Structure 1
Amino acid sequence: MREKNKYYRLWEHIEFNDKWKDCDTSQVDDIAPSWFHRRKVLQENSQEYQEFIARLKREHAIETGVVEKMYDLEKGITETFIKKGFVESYVSNGDTNIPVPKLLNHLNDHIEAIDFIFDIVKDNRELTVGFIKELHALVTRNQDYVEGRDQFGNKTQIPLLKGEFKERENNPSREDGTVIQYCPPEHVHSEMDNLVNLYNQASENKIHPIIISAWFHHSFTIIHPFQDGNGRVARLLSSLILIKNGYFPFTVLREEAKEIYIEALEQADKGEPQPLVNYFSEVQNRLIEKALNIREVSSTSFEEVSKIFSGKLERWQQWKEKKREEELNEARMKIFEFCKKYLYEACENLSSKLNGNASITIEECAPNDQSKQHYYYSQIIKYAKKHNYFFNRNFPKGWLIFRIEMPEDKSYQLGISIHHYGYDDSTIAIGAFLEYLHGDHQNRIDSTLPLDIKPHVISINQDIDAKEKNIKAFLENVLTLTLAQIASEF
């Protein structure tokens, strides 16, 4: 006898509760002010920035369909499409699992939809239920059917209502047979009106746009207002909210879809929204870090470049006159002192546990100390290249060496570098490298050990004290990985 299905009602009446409002966004807040400052400059002058945005749009168009399992696309052709555009002749046999014309139809629908989002922001058009329906019709333009079940529970093809809310249930089943119940069709119209009203209230109340975007995405998915295409539309609407507030489109990469994105959505289903807000923040951080490494001057015209160069020299003089240099020095020193404080605390803590079997010393060079500025340049350059960013050597840097000395002239040293990141003067990176030293000073063997940890990137345009918590968490992670690496070599 067939076991009766279990049901899990996911949908509840949509609300914007305190758990969402209290979510921590410091991960993106640490770096966002530098991006907002840099963005104005890039929008005015940089062709490279315009090309960057075009690549982001194409990446979103591709990945949103892969995540929804509309098609598969090999990584090689994915990178080509992102870089050059959607051209049929680029596709080779085996690059995709559906006919190429059908693939291109889907991709072009998706790219037009994300273009539409940017146009809506530019025109300052309000978010309405009518607009959401319009967006759905655009993104599903070349999709005529959706898989459903008939009255006997058999799979069947159902005509897709484009730009119209669902008229029948669209509740999926999990592997264990549990049926997930979204909002019933008869309540969709009222819930969507409620969703838009709550969004407008949150915006008026100046709730953080990362939180609003994540909340809107989650709320939309538990309503599931359309027969199909809900995931694609949810990510586009989240992108709209982010772009409207100076951020980037929300793109879920295929390798993150199941373990990070879906897991975070399921945590939000259980009333724990912080993981989803964290993921939205991580996506923005990744894109902001790339954008901060975009050059302002990318023109090949001598006259145009000369004009920009002259303007930058003039601004440089104004920068000095306005005592910007003193502000940067103060911020660099404060970050250096945070790092120094934590490393000395860690040194004392670890030394007490080593029972004299090893000794720990710390060497330092503050950003305002000119005598040792040239130390560790090659390590920092190598680190920046590995993590694909521009190490700005025009500004002072600081460093700390956490050295663990062991018997038989063996020692390990962890280098912590505080240096400028990208092309904006307000962005600082805290990087880390690990080296093994063997022998005396004359016959020493140095080698770099794997410590694959990205830099912690922060803006110094706003309150530096508020960033201490995340700096400490970063350094704690670095030290944990360092000790694990050293322990693994015994």
Structure 2
Amino acid sequence: MIPWQRIEPLGSLNGEIATRLAGVDALQTAWKEVQAAASPAEVEASLKRRLRKHAIETGIIERLYDVSWGVTEALVAEGLTTEVALSEGDVTESTLDIIRDQFEALAYLVDWSRDDQDLSLHFIKTLHSIIVRHQTHYDARDQFGNLVRVPLKPGVWKDLKNEITRADGTKLECTPPLFVDEEMERLVELYRDTADRHPLVRAAWLHHRFILIHPFSDGNGRVARALTLLALQKGHFAPIAVDRLQRAEYIAALDEANSGDLRPLVRFFALLEERALRAELQAPLSPSPQASGAVAVARAYATRLRAREVTDRNLKAERSAQLATAAHTRLVDFLRALSTQLEEVFRELDRRAMVSLDSAVPPDEKAGYWHGQLVHAANLADFYTNLSAGSWWARLHLRLRGSLLRFITAVQKVGQGETGVLAVTVYAEVLNAAPTDSDRQELLFRVFEHSNTPDSATLVYTDDLDARWPEIQQLVDDALASAIGRFSEHLA
């Protein structure tokens, strides 16, 4: 058992964190431009969809219930209603009550932030009360180690000790009940001292330190994940949600924080934030009908602004294309070097094994290839892809024993129009195919669907490729390794 310690203030974070956060900030700028062009109703609807996803996934992370992906998507899109739940799948009313409570708690947090109120003990206790409104009991161990059902008191600090079990099986003692109120006061005070730090860093610090205290008998994880949104709302970032497929990565990042390194948790939240921002880069609704008088004057002014925006869009388009081409060149070089090595390895198993590489960039006609695969990759990564002019893609084929592994990595434009945002995506599928007869190909399975493999990396037109390349290379290397692993299992 590792004994509890008082929570520590937020210290300096070394390494590449500053570069990573700068990339998120650049993406946030593009997102804000889209938000400014959208109607208040659109902005609010987008926010509620994000909160509904968080509300559903936070309970799945805690294994309180299980909701399929299809039902989750329907509830996120259409609302947390009994009608939607029953029409899409078997979700009990008690499960829906818990999800609604979690959503209401997040809505309460957003309103609290909009009223320019900061963290307080009253706010935290109220948040907990809303989250566990329909949870009357929790599981605990008595003095003899027996599992017992104990009444849960909403918004009341714990009266029994609790602990965290780490990945290696060791126990981490949380703050004893006697010291909870003191430590929570200290948490609020230290959080206020972080006001000048990046919202994602503040969010990670608050989340982890709250988890270390574990002030309530149950519901601490859900409250901690809700509190993450407080700093993001204050900093005008999109809400994030840890989903079921990211649970292992999330717990691993928390465990690193338990060992004194907060950076993995900051990086994890940064990835979630990039994904959330990127998913919202959609075109706004059509402008309002024509009018005269004061509106005409406003329109004339708006015309001048649009002229300037056209220049900005052209600049974004030019720099985005330059960045995409540079990233594509490195990706092709990287895959070409791997192709030679892979062919040598697999020819030891099959002398007819072949690895081939093809690629294209706009405006080449071939840049429009792989439309279905790239849309699928974008959907898994939760963003709208703009393939009107094609993409910067590289395709690796590995043919072995009558089967084909197709691995595609591409640089895609994100959002409609010229947002200045790009996504590097990976896609892999396994097909039955004769060594040289593509007409006989038959799709067997897609590799990354509903997997823990990282699906993308985000680039903004202002990015320095040298600084971002290690992350991109790691993404592609890990994805190709995973794809080859699945392919090998298929052949076995």
Give matches, 1:392-411, under 5 Å.
392-395=386-389, 397-400=391-394
Task: Confirm or deny that 1:295 pairs with 2:283.
Answer: yes
Structure 1's 149 and 56: CA in aligned 2 closer, same or farther, altered over 3 A? same
Tell me: CA distance 1:226–1:327, structure 2 relative to 1, closer, same or farther (3 Å).
Answer: same
Q: 1:29 to 1:173 in 2, by over 3 A?
A: closer
Q: CA deviation at 1:183?
A: 0.5
Q: How far does the alpha carbon of each residue in 1:46-69 deviate from its partner, in whole angstroms, 9 at most, with x for none?
A: 554432321222222233344445
Query: With structure 1 as the length reference, what TM-score do the two structures score?
Result: 0.75
Report if aligned partners of 2:378, 2:385 keep a CA contact under 8 Å in 1.
no
Q: Structure 1: which amino acid aligns with 2:109?
A: I
Q: Which amino acid aligns with 1:36?
A: T
Matched position secondary structure for 2:413? strand
Residue 95, structure 1, aligned to residue 90, structure 2: yes
Partner of 1:211: 201
Whole-Å separation in 1 of the counterparts to 2:157 and 2:435: 73
What is the aligned partner in structure 2 of residue 191 from structure 1?
183
Structure 2 residue ranges without an equivalent (≥5):
449-454
Superposition map of 1:54-453 within 5 A:
54-71=48-65, 77-90=71-84, 92=86, 95-96=90-91, 100=93, 103=95, 105-143=97-135, 145-146=137-138, 160-166=152-158, 168-171=159-162, 181-204=173-196, 206=197, 208-257=198-247, 259-292=248-281, 294-297=282-285, 317-321=307-311, 324=315, 325-346=317-338, 365-367=360-362, 370=363, 373-385=364-376, 387-388=378-379, 389-395=383-389, 397-400=391-394, 415-423=408-416, 424-432=418-426, 445=439, 447=441, 452-453=447-448
- Answer yes or no: is 1:15 the counterpart of 2:4: no
Matched pairs, number: 465
Larger relative contact order (C-alpha < 8 A, sep ≥ 6)?
Answer: 1
Aligned to 1:51: 45
> Deviation at 1:223?
0.6
Q: Distance in 2 between matches of 1:350 and 1:256?
A: 30
**How far apart are residue 297 of structure 1 and its match?**
1.9
The AA in structure 1 aligned to 2:38 is N
Whole-Å Cα distance in 2 between the matches of residues 79 and 149 of structure 1? 36
Work out the CA distance in 2 between the residues paired with 1:433 and 1:87. Answer: 35
SS in 2 for 1:125: coil
Give secondary structure in 1 for the equivalent of 2:122: helix
Deviations 1:54-95 (A, max 9, x none): 122222223334444555556665444333333345555993
Contact 1:113–1:138 (CA under 8 A) maintained in structure 2: yes
**Contact in 1 for aligned 2:319/2:461 (Cα 8 Å):** no
> 1:459, CA displacement in angstroms?
1.9
Q: Quick one: which of 30, 35, 38 aligns to 1:37?
A: 30
TM-fit CA distance, 1:461: 3.0
Cα distance in structure 2, aligned partners of 1:387 and 1:212? 29
Structure with max Cα Rg = 1
Judging changes above 3 Å, is the alpha-carbon distance between structure 1 residues 13 and 88 closer, same or farther for their aligned structure 2 residues?
same
Q: What is the one-letter code of the residue matched to 2:218?
A: D
Closer/same/farther in 2, CA of residues 427 and 178 from structure 1, 3 Å limit: closer
Structure 1: where are the runs of 5+ without partners? 1-7
- Offset at 1:115? 0.9
Which letter maps to 2:77? K
User: 1:315-355, CA deviations, whole angstroms, 9 ceiling, x for partnerless residues?
Assistant: 67534545514433432333233324434544566678779
Q: Please give the alpha-carbon distance, in whole angstroms, between the structure 1 residues aligned to 2:85 and 2:68.
A: 10
For residues 144 and 298 of structure 1, do their structure 2 counterparts lie closer, same or farther at Cα, with a shift above 3 Å needed?
farther
Q: Deviations over 1:98-123 (max 9, x none)?
A: xx3x5555444322211121112222
| Seq. identity, % | 25
> In 1, Cα distance between the equivalents of 2:353 and 2:82?
62
Q: What is the Cα deviation at residue 272 of structure 1?
A: 4.7
- The CA distance in 2 between the partners of 1:406 and 1:158, in whole Å, is 58
Distance in 2 of aligned mates of 1:215 and 1:302: 48
